[in-house]
């Protein structure tokens, strides 16, 4: 007769406990994890700004030349500018709908006043002209349009200031990376800025990627 107890169908099976890892293996595993989560260089941190569908960053990394780095940095600034334009467009569309809805409401209110005046019963010989009420609605409409314009301007302010701060931060990081890799070559943004100022070209054209 066996010394081990018989296992029933519903009994929990026995499991063999695993041996604990040695201190040397644990240290090696921790050092490996630390090496995997080390922070990359600044150009790799800013590479997340490049839009989807762009050229593989690995190809640019293999070709360490000033022209390829310029393409990468131009793409980053261009992507930042696209996000800025998208946010401004959202604000513009938002207040466009507000103005459109308010304008329709005021027009309906004026149409109701005119209909009530024209459809008055025949015994109402003495009727006040709706001109006063319509003028009041027109003044309300003008004040509303000024309010929406001012609200849109106020909401655009923080977005524009944030874009300027991020733009300066990107340019500062790009210039530092450029000077570390190619100290003898002038930074492309400085040359483009001087040319655009001399020719009167808008600064936004500097963000156009080079293909």
pLDDT tens by residue, 6-45: 444 444 544 444 444 544 454 455 444 444 344 444 445 4
Percent of the chain with pLDDT over 90: 46
Closest CA to 133 of 102, 110, 103: 110
> 170 near 72, Cβ under 8 Å?
no
pLDDT tens by residue, 41-96: 444 545 544 444 444 444 444 557 889 999 999 999 999 999 999 999 999 999 99
- In-domain check, residue 13: no
pLDDT tens by residue, 138-179: 999 999 999 999 999 999 999 999 999 999 999 999 999 999
> What's the mean pLDDT in 172-195?
87
The count of structural domains within the chain is 1
Give the helix/strand (H/E) hosting 59.
Answer: helix 57-62
- Whole-model pTM: value is 0.58
pLDDT tens by residue, 115-140: 888 887 665 566 677 889 999 999 99
Domain extent, residue 129, equals 64-202
Separation CA 164–CA 203 (nearest Å): 12
- In-domain check, residue 21: no
> 91 near 152, Cβ under 8 Å?
yes
- In-domain check, residue 57: no
- In-domain check, residue 2: no
Mind giving me the DSSP string for 113-141? HHHHHHT--TT--S---THHHHHHHHHHH
Say what the pLDDT of residue 197 is.
52
- In-domain check, residue 18: no
**Average pLDDT for the chain:** 74
């Amino acid at each position: 007769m066996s010394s081990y107890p018989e296992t029933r169908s519903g009994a929990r099976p026995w499991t063999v406990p695993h041996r604990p890892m040695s201190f040397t293996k644990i240290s090696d595993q921790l050092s490996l994890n630390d090496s995997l989560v080390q922070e990359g260089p600044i150009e790799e941190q800013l590479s997340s700004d490049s839009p989807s569908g762009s050229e593989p960053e690995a190809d640019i990394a293999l070709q360490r030349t000033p022209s390829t780095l310029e393409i990468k940095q131009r793409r980053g600034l261009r992507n930042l500018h696209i996000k800025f334009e998208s946010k401004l467009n959202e604000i513009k569309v938002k207040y466009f709908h507000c103005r459109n809805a308010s304008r329709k409401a005021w027009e309906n209110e004026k149409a109701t006043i005119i209909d009530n005046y024209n459809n008055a019963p025949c015994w109402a010989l003495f009727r006040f002209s709706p001109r006063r009420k319509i003028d009041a609605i027109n003044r309300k409409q003008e004040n509303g349009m000024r309010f929406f314009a001012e609200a849109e301007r106020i909401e655009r302010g923080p977005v524009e200031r944030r874009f300027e701060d991020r733009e300066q931060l990107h340019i500062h990081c790009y210039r530092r990376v450029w000077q570390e890799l190619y100290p003898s070559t002038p930074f492309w943004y400085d040359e483009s800025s001087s040319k655009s100022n001399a020719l009167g070209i808008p600064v936004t054209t500097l963000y156009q990627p080079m293909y």
